[in-house]
Structure 1
Amino acid sequence: MLDAFAVRLIAVVMAIVVVAGLLVMFRWEMGGRGTMKLRASTPIARGANVGWTGTQMVSFFYPVVVAIVPGITYGTVLNFSFPYDSALQLLGIFLWCVGAVLLLWCSRLLGSIMTIDGVAEGHKLMTRGPFATIRHPTYTAWVLLALGAAGIFLSYVLLVVAVLTVALARLLASREEQLLASPEGFGEEYRAYMKETGRFLPKLRSRRRSS
C-alpha cells in the first residue's frame, strides 16, 4: 500500500483534474443547450438515473475528500490491503487517467448533446473519435474512472460504486440502443453501426474473407 502522503498528493492532483475537467466540460456541453428540442426520449426509470448520477458524483469527488481528510478515507477499516497491492494502485492511476482523457474527448465531440436522454432535433449519429469503434465510450470512461479510483484508494466503498457503475452502464446503454435503433432514433443507420462497433470496448473482428 502506498504511504498516506503519496496517496494524498495523488488525490490532490486528481481533485485539480476533476475541477478543471468539470469546468471545461460544462463550457462544451452548455453551448446551444437552451435551444435544443428532443424529438424522442430514452425510457429510463428514475431510480436508474438517480443511481447513475450518484455513482458519478462519488467517483468524481472521492479524490477531493481524500485530499482534504485523508485520515478517515485511507488506511482505515474502509480500505482493503494485500501483498503487493501498490501494483493495483499504480494500475488504478493508469485506468483513471485513461478514463479522464476519454471522458473529456467524448465531451468535446458531443458538446451540448452529451447529457441529453434521447435524440434531439438535428442530432446526427456520432461516429468520429472513440465512437468509430465503441458505441458508448462515455460509459466506458465512467467505468474506468470508478475502477481506477477503487484501485488507487483500495476502498471498499469505491469497489461497490465500481460494480454499480458497470451494472448501470449496461442497463442505460441497452435502453439507449433500443431508442437509437428505432424509427424515432436513427433506425437502420444505427443498426448497421451496431454491427461494426462494440458496446463498451472495440469489437474483436473476425478475419474477413480476402476476396
Structure 2
Amino acid sequence: MNVLSTIIYFAWFLSEILLHRILRGKDADDKKKQDQGSLAFIWIVIIVFINISVLVSAKTSYLILPGPDMNRIGLSVILLGMVLRFVAIAQLGRLFTVNVTIRKDHHIKKDGLYSILRHPSYAGSLLSFLGFGLSQNNWLGLAIVFIPVFVAFVYRMKIEEKVLSEKFGEEYTDYMKHTSRIIPWIY
C-alpha cells in the first residue's frame, strides 16, 4: 500500500468514526425509533468484510487492470463518495443523525440532493466502499467488500423508510415515488 492510499483510507475511516461519535441523535426531545440493530449490523459487516477483502486481495490475483491506475481510480472514487456524503449531511443539517431517529420538528427534506435521492448520504458512503474495492485492484476483493456492505445498507434504508413512512404517511410515500434510493433514476 502506498502513502497516498494510507492517507485517503485513514481520512475516510476517521471521518466515519467521527460522524458516528458526533452525530448520534441524543436530543431529549427526539422521538427515537428502534433501528432494529441496523447501525451495529452495518459496522460489523464493514469491519469483517473490509478485513476479509484486504486479505483476499493480498493473497489472490484477480486484477481489474494491470498497473497502478485502478488504485488511483479507486482512491478518487473514495474521495468522491466522501464529498457526496458530506454534502448530503450538510444539506440535511440538524436532521441528520447516524441513528434512525425522528427529531423534534422533523420534516422531509425535498430539495438539493434530496430532490433526486432519498439517501444521498448512503449513496456517498457506498460509493466510497466501491472505491475501496476498486483501489485494491482485485475483482474478488471488490465483490467481498462491496456486496455485503451494499446489502447491509439496503437493510438499513428499508428500516429508515418504514420509520419515515409511519411518521409522515402519504407525504413520504409520495416522496418515495418521485425519488430514487441511491442511484439517480435507476434505484
Alignment check: 8 A CA contact 1:143 1:166 kept? yes
Alignment check: 8 A CA contact 2:56 2:141 kept? no
Alignment check: 8 A CA contact 1:29 1:107 kept? no
Compare CA radii of gyration and give the structure with the larger one: 1
Determine the C-alpha separation between the residues in 2 that align with 1:201 and 1:86: 28
Q: Does residue 142 of the first structure (1) align with residue 125 of the second (2)?
A: yes
Aligned AA (1:164): P
Determine the C-alpha separation between the residues in 1 that align with 2:43 and 2:18: 19
Residue 151 of structure 2 corresponds to which residue in structure 1? 167
Q: Does residue 104 of the first structure (1) align with residue 86 of the second (2)?
A: yes
Residue 17 of structure 1 corresponds to which residue in structure 2? 11
What's the TM-score once normalised by structure 1's chain length? Answer: 0.69
Q: Deviations over 1:156-209 (max 9, x none)?
A: 556412111111111111121122112xx11111111111110111226xxxxx
**Change in CA separation of 1:195 and 1:167 when aligned onto 2, cut-off 3 Å:** same
Q: 1:8 aligns with which of 2, 17, 21?
A: 2
Aligned AA (1:186): F
Alignment check: 8 A CA contact 2:165 2:173 kept? yes
Q: Does residue 151 of the first structure (1) align with residue 143 of the second (2)?
A: no
Post-superposition offset of 1:96: 1.0
Alignment check: 8 A CA contact 2:65 2:137 kept? no
2:41 alignment partner, SS class: helix
Residue 180 of structure 1 corresponds to which residue in structure 2? 164
Determine the C-alpha separation between the residues in 2 that align with 1:25 and 1:125: 21
Q: Which runs of 5+ in 2 are unaligned?
A: none
What's the TM-score once normalised by structure 2's chain length? Answer: 0.76
Determine the C-alpha separation between the residues in 2 that align with 1:132 and 1:18: 26
**Change in CA separation of 1:140 and 1:199 when aligned onto 2, cut-off 3 Å:** same
Q: 1:51 aligns with which of 41, 49, 71?
A: 41
Moved over 6 A (4+): 72-75
Aligned AA (1:177): E
Post-superposition offset of 1:130: 1.4
Q: Deviations over 1:22-58 (max 9, x none)?
A: 587479736xx543433351452x3x43230134457
**How many percent of aligned residue pairs carry the same amino acid?**
18
**Change in CA separation of 1:43 and 1:74 when aligned onto 2, cut-off 3 Å:** closer
Residue 209 of structure 1 corresponds to which residue in structure 2? none
Determine the C-alpha separation between the residues in 2 that align with 1:58 and 1:111: 31
Alignment check: 8 A CA contact 2:45 2:152 kept? no
**Change in CA separation of 1:187 and 1:108 when aligned onto 2, cut-off 3 Å:** same
